[in-house]
Structure 1
């Protein structure tokens, strides 16, 4: 008798295949001890001959100061096992940027970072701004930090925003690293999949960019601009509305398909369904790519895509778009 085969097996869609493949990949990649040093190095490389040279070099100095502070090994309070279990049960980020209580320690670290930064800057406006902000009141720093983390532009001091953002990045990288160490081997992993795959599973922030990680078979990861966590996200899928329709890539210059080495390392992945875009970075085309640094250095791509009516989905706390609706208090809240 000839064996028969069943035709009842469900055929998987391309998206379902991608999801199953993603289940075999490491879901999250933690920021390592050299995260800020790598950013500073990349910024200096990108600054050569760049129209934003001075700003990129300033942010490189800022990243160096963050690296020195991270190396100091300052301890921060981490969530309890009960909090880890509750976040996993509810499918929410463990360290949500908008609601996590920031201990006074974050302000102390910010002030130390600013004074260290000022000592490495030449005499000028940037050095004066760092020193001025280091002397600001606790209330002013907390208010500005809250606006940054919640996306409130009303009363936000755009000039001081990168400096405050640097302190927040330092604080959250410490939180992520020390939480991971504290709960290694626990019953529940501190950072895993959450209900909303478009935001960071650690802090709930929107990504600064996405990238195809080397050694992960071209898998796409979203990179957090606050805590530097990277988490897996299906390719060719909008990071804003999660649609798989109407996805296209835009480049600064037309790439020659016959010359792979000429393909752009940074593109804008655009969604016609919701009108949002996020940059997609290809380390295989430029091994030095760093999400925050390369996002800053490709501002021209943002301008190009915005001319087509696309809205930026990514958030880079070191360079915010828009204008504050109201000026901050004179004197930085002294």
Structure 2
């Protein structure tokens, strides 16, 4: 497989198309994890990463069951809402938010639930071992994961920690939105950094052309699952409207793998970064986290590991980190 590049015309014209009539934010709904699990199971058969996709599907199902249980979370105060709106920053910054300690109990319950769906073996053992880990270990690993610190991060259990954090932040966003519905100051809205999640400040996992929004592009957060409007043909890293092109997979013989690929890489020659652009109109089952996992080949090509242009990935998918595992990461046993 190679990458196919197509230049787009008049990026400035498209970039200035009015977004004011569009809904700026789409909050995660009650079925966010169920939809992810369904998509992963559809993508897994015959996929080179099929076993991993099925494992993540089971993980997403466990997240869905935990979300449906509706555990209450400690919410931000009106003063914190006012301050975030005034300063133009995310209300719930993932890297510094004081997490409710109950997130650890929710993670342990999620892991025990997941373990009952797994066959006896190394995967089940790893899940149960993490469920028995100390509070200190879980908090340390969560802090490293949310701050992008690879040193000391246990790559093997990072997706499990990430699942607990996703559950916590989705619950936090949903419950905060309900608690402040109709309040004088909305908890979530536009912030100064248009490329970051308006809720938790995370980088997007992908961008999606939402159905029913006249082809408008939304960035999708891989942590809290919020989607926010971001104009098309504009770099999600440096915000340039110049040098934008789309790359997609083509077959080894040069034939187009799909006449209208559902997932492409939007590349910026100005800063050398890219983010995947997903088209639900071409495949209405698309789910940003799931489809990002399933299109790793596109990442390899665009990043230069194949025949792509050597672009750097802008996205963050906490379930599949790009980097080398660190040998200094301690095991997640009870004593750590």
User: Are 2:221 and 1:191 equivalent residues in the alignment?
Assistant: no
CA-based RMSD of the aligned residues comes to 1.8
- In the other structure, the counterpart of 2:324 is 323
| Counterpart secondary structure, 2:18 | helix
Cα distance per residue 1:51-102 (max 9 Å; x no partner): 1010000000000000000000100011111111110110000000001001
Residues of 2 paired with 1:226 and 1:107: CA distance? 16
Residue 124 of structure 1: CA displacement? Answer: 1.3
- In the other structure, the counterpart of 2:102 is 105
The answer on whether the counterparts of 1:93 and 1:204 sit within 8 Å (CA) in structure 2 is: yes
- In the other structure, the counterpart of 2:310 is 309
Residues of 1 paired with 2:79 and 2:310: CA distance? 45
Residues of 2 paired with 1:298 and 1:33: CA distance? 26
User: Are 2:129 and 1:125 equivalent residues in the alignment?
Assistant: no
The answer on whether the counterparts of 1:139 and 1:333 sit within 8 Å (CA) in structure 2 is: no
- In the other structure, the counterpart of 1:231 is 228
- In the other structure, the counterpart of 2:6 is none
- In the other structure, the counterpart of 2:272 is 275
Residue 16 of structure 1: CA displacement? Answer: 7.5
- In the other structure, the counterpart of 2:71 is 74
Residues of 2 paired with 1:285 and 1:271: CA distance? 23
Cα distance per residue 1:116-156 (max 9 Å; x no partner): 00011111111111100000010000000000000000010
| Counterpart secondary structure, 2:189 | coil
- In the other structure, the counterpart of 1:218 is 215
Aligned with residue 93 of structure 2, among 96, 119, 122: 96
The 10-residue stretch of structure 1 (121-130 or 286-295) with the greater mean CA deviation from structure 2: 121-130
Residue 262 of structure 1: CA displacement? Answer: 2.8
Residue pairs, 1:18-57, within 5 angstroms: 18-19=15-16, 21-57=18-54
Unaligned runs of 5+ in 2: 1-9
Higher helix proportion = 1
The 10-residue stretch of structure 1 (322-331 or 220-229) with the greater mean CA deviation from structure 2: 322-331
Residue 19 of structure 1: CA displacement? Answer: 4.3
Residue pairs, 1:246-265, within 5 angstroms: 246-253=243-250, 262-265=259-262
What TM-score, normalized by structure 1, do the two folds share? 0.92
Cα distance per residue 1:174-201 (max 9 Å; x no partner): 0000000000001111110000000000
Residues of 1 paired with 2:182 and 2:39: CA distance? 34
Residues of 1 paired with 2:14 and 2:45: CA distance? 43
Cα distance per residue 1:302-329 (max 9 Å; x no partner): 0000112111000000000011344212
Aligned residues: 319
| Counterpart secondary structure, 1:32 | coil
Residue 17 of structure 1: CA displacement? Answer: 7.1
Residues of 2 paired with 1:166 and 1:330: CA distance? 18
Which protein has the larger Cα radius of gyration, Structure 1 or Structure 2? 1
Residue 241 of structure 1: CA displacement? Answer: 0.5
| Counterpart secondary structure, 1:280 | strand
The answer on whether the counterparts of 2:38 and 2:57 sit within 8 Å (CA) in structure 1 is: yes
Residues of 2 paired with 1:112 and 1:19: CA distance? 47
Residues of 2 paired with 1:223 and 1:99: CA distance? 20
Larger RCO (CA within 8 A; separation ≥ 6): 2
User: Are 2:176 and 1:182 equivalent residues in the alignment?
Assistant: no
Residues of 2 paired with 1:271 and 1:216: CA distance? 24
The answer on whether the counterparts of 1:97 and 1:205 sit within 8 Å (CA) in structure 2 is: yes
Residues of 1 paired with 2:334 and 2:192: CA distance? 39
What TM-score, normalized by structure 2, do the two folds share? 0.92
- In the other structure, the counterpart of 1:62 is 59
Unaligned runs of 5+ in 1: 1-12
